[in-house]
Amino acid sequence: MVRNTATSLLFIVMFFQSSNAMSWSEELRHVFLRACIEGADPYEYRKAKTYCNCSLDEISDNYSVKELDRIGADNILKEPLVKRIIGYCAEKTLQ
């Protein structure tokens, strides 16, 4: 599931660069969720959906799209807060 968040964040950064989006629009939220859930095992769909929604909520509450673009695709998973969010959502999903 962590890989799904990483993939989703990379999509958001790439989407931002191509569209100049400034905020978390419904379209960006949909892109994130689709990319995150898409890679999930079909038997784990419900957990993936919970995890991906948690990740989206936490990341969008803490980072603007512009901030994610500034951090860049190569560094996003090195961000301490992103690491904490991924861990928090993974733990919350497995409960």
Tokens of 65: 């799209």
Residues 6+ apart with CB under 8 A from 13: 68, 69, 72, 73, 76
The pLDDT tens digits of the residues spanning 12-53 come to: 655 555 555 567 888 888 888 888 888 777 778 888 899 899
Q: What is this structure's pTM? A: 0.78
Confidence of residue 4 (pLDDT cuts 50, 70, 90): low
Q: What is the pLDDT of residues 42-91, one digit of tens each?
A: 778 888 899 899 999 999 999 988 888 888 878 888 899 999 998 999 89
Domain that holds residue 53: 2-94
Could you give phi then psi for residue 39, rounded to 5 degrees? -85, 0
Predicted pLDDT of residue 13:
59
